[in-house]
């Protein structure tokens, strides 16, 4: 999953990689409140490369030109994708431009440091001049310095570029990333270094371990209610990182690895599978809903689980999603693989009955958000009977389920 440039730069800023003062622009009129002095550069925030060549990056000198340029960029598709936000940045005077990257070599199963003296848009020149250093032992500054020397850096630039490479590597490891790239790394006439553009590819399988990273990615999910179209959330896809033995065969207790990812809306989402979870978030946003949290039960990796473990996992997942007091409605969207529909329905019914019993005996009641359940798999009719008994709506069509949960959240 590729982050947008402004999201990648937030990570750079956190770890100490120098970036220019920047401001996210959600609509052209935001430029009237720009906090960065002119001249500035406006950049289309799409994941495709070659933005500058097709007009997705423009330099402007005043507010009138900036608003006009923003209108143009917002209406410019790049490889079929329209930007939902722009990045406004200060202009930087460069003397040289370098290319740097840290990537996981799938065949070698090692991180590799990459560097070229030819950065920027001269991709062919950068590839011809590309230097690499394989990190085959515990990382130390030696590896970064070795790459810098192979790139032909000299004088104080050896230290300053090496420090950037070290920070890129630590970010790569800390966040379980597949790629960290800076292109170009600008070198000013006085020798200062600046990450002028950046690319970060997150590992889909690792997002549950990095809530801050997931929150950064999905916090930009906007809805028609705030006057903009919703961003198309990535739906997973192949990862270049090899699965670890733990990922291949998870032997942890039924719910120990469940990770609730909090957001800032009012709809809870419980799914199984990263792709289904992302697609469900996307559909809820497009329908005008605001996810409050989401939880991936990860059913595709638990085919060996017993029915009791699956039921326990569903119940615990539902409890986690519902415990957030801001949640007004919950969408449970589970596909066959995690268990039969009636097994899942019984787990949901058991959870509701348990809460009902607690409410009759406790001094304070536990509030339950409105549930919408969408299941696909065997024993659907039996599941419907089970959920009818606890007055929960079971929907087979996903679009209808999304519409229903968004409506329930609005009613509160």
Residues 183 and 324 in one domain: no
Q: How many separate domains does the chain show?
A: 3
Residues 107 and 184 in one domain: yes
- Token pair recorded at residue 34: 């720009």
Of 48, 68, 90, the last residue of a domain is 90
* 207 dihedral zone (left: phi>0; alpha: psi -120 to 50; beta): alpha
Averaged pLDDT for residues 307-319: 85
**What's the mean pLDDT when you consider all of the chain?**
84
Residues 155 and 265 in one domain: no
> Is 198's pLDDT higher than 70?
yes
- Per-residue pLDDT of 78-105, as tens digits, reads 877 889 899 999 999 999 999 999 998 8
d(Cα 67, Cα 28) in Å, to the nearest integer? 5
> Is 314's pLDDT higher than 80?
yes
225 inside domain: no
> Is 238's pLDDT higher than 60?
no
Q: What percentage of the chain carries pLDDT values higher than 70?
A: 85
- Per-residue pLDDT of 345-391, as tens digits, reads 999 999 898 888 877 766 667 778 999 999 988 888 999 999 999 99
How do the residues of the chain divide into helix, strand and coil, expressed in percent and rounded to 5?
40, 20, 40
CB atoms within 10 A of CB 243: 11
- Supply the range of the domain harboring residue 319: 260-411
Residues 110 and 213 in one domain: yes
CATH number of the domain encompassing residue 62: 3.30.1490.20
- Per-residue pLDDT of 321-347, as tens digits, reads 998 888 999 999 998 666 788 889 999
Q: What is the pLDDT of residue 338?
A: 63
10 inside domain: no
Q: What is the pLDDT of residue 245?
A: 37
pLDDT band for position 229 (cuts 50, 70, 90)? very low
Which residue has better confidence, 383 or 261?
383
Residues 174 and 158 in one domain: yes
234 inside domain: no
Of 90, 105, 133, the last residue of a domain is 90
Of 90, 105, 135, the last residue of a domain is 90
**39 upstream amide cis, omega within 30 of 0:** yes
CB atoms within 10 A of CB 296: 24
236 inside domain: no
Which phi and psi (to 5°) does residue 391 adopt? Answer: 60, 45
222 inside domain: no
Q: Cα 29 from chain centroid?
A: 27
CATH number of the domain encompassing residue 197: 3.30.470.20
CATH number of the domain encompassing residue 386: 3.40.50.261
Rounded to 10 degrees, what is the CA torsion of 388, 390, 391, 394? -50
pLDDT band for position 236 (cuts 50, 70, 90)? very low
* 377 dihedral zone (left: phi>0; alpha: psi -120 to 50; beta): left
What is the SS3 assignment for 218? helix
Q: What is the DSSP string of 262-315?
A: E-SSSEEEEESSHHHHHHHHHHHHHTT--EEEEEE--GGG-TT--HHHHHHHHH
The answer to whether the beta carbons of residues 105 and 112 sit under 8 Å apart is: yes
Residues 178 and 308 in one domain: no
Which residue has better confidence, 227 or 88?
88
pLDDT band for position 23 (cuts 50, 70, 90)? very high
> Is 239's pLDDT higher than 60?
no
Q: What is the pLDDT of residue 90?
A: 94
Q: What is the pLDDT of residue 213?
A: 81
> Is 2's pLDDT higher than 70?
yes
> Is 227's pLDDT higher than 70?
no
> Of 60-69, 127-136, 207-216, 294-303, where does mean pLDDT reach its minimum?
294-303
Q: What is the CA radius of gyration of the chain?
A: 24
d(Cα 345, Cα 393) in Å, to the nearest integer? 11
Q: What is the pLDDT of residue 168?
A: 97
> Is 250's pLDDT higher than 90?
no
370 inside domain: yes
Residues 279 and 405 in one domain: yes
Residues 211 and 337 in one domain: no
């Amino acid at each position: 999953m590729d982050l947008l440039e402004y999201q990648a730069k937030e990570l750079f800023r956190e770890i100490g990689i120098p970036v220019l003062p920047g401001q996210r622009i959600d609509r052209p009129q935001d430029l009237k409140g720009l906090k960065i002095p002119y001249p500035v550069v406006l950049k289309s925030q799409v994941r495709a490369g070659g933005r500058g060549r097709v007009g997705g990056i423009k330099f402007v000198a005043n507010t009138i030109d900036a608003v006009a340029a923003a209108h143009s960029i917002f209406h410019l598709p790049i490889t079929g994708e329209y930007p939902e936000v722009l990045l406004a940045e200060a202009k930087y005077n460069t003397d040289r431009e370098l290319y740097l990257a840290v990537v996981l070599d799938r065949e070698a199963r090692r991180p590799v440091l990459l560097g070229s003296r030819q950065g920027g848009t001269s991709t062919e020149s950068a590839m011809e001049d590309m230097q690499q250093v394989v990190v085959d032992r515990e990382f130390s500054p030696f590896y970064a310095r070795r790459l810098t020397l192979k790139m032909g850096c000299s004088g104080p630039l050896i230290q300053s570029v090496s420090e950037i490479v070290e920070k890129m590597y630590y970010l790569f490891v800390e966040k379980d990333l597949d790629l960290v790239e800076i292109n170009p790394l600008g070198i000013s006439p006085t020798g200062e270094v600046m990450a002028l553009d950046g690319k970060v590819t997150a590992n889909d399988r690792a997002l549950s371990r990095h809530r801050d990273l997931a929150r950064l990615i999905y916090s930009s999910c906007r809805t028609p209610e705030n006057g903009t179209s919703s961003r198309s959330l990535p739906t997973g896809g192949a990862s270049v990182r090899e699965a670890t033995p733990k990922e291949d065969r998870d032997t942890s207790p039924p719910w120990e690895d469940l990770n609730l990812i909090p957001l800032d809306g009012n709809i809870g989402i419980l799914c199984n599978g990263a792709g289904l979870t992302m697609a469900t978030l996307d559909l809820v946003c497009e329908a005008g809903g605001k996810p409050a949290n989401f939880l991936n039960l990860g059913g595709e990796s638990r085919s060996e689980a017993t029915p009791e473990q699956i039921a326990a996992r569903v119940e615990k997942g539902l409890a986690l999603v519902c415990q957030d007091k801001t949640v007004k409605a919950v969408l449970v969207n589970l596909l066959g693989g995690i268990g039969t529909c009636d097994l899942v329905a019984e787990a949901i019914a058991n959870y509701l009955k348990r809460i009902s019993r607690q409410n009759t005996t406790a001094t304070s009641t536990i509030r339950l958000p409105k549930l919408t359940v969408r299941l696909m798999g065997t024993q659907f009719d039996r599941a419907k009977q089970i959920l009818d008994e606890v007055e929960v709506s079971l929907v087979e069509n996903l679009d209808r389920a999304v519409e229903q949960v968004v409506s329930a959240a609005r009613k509160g």
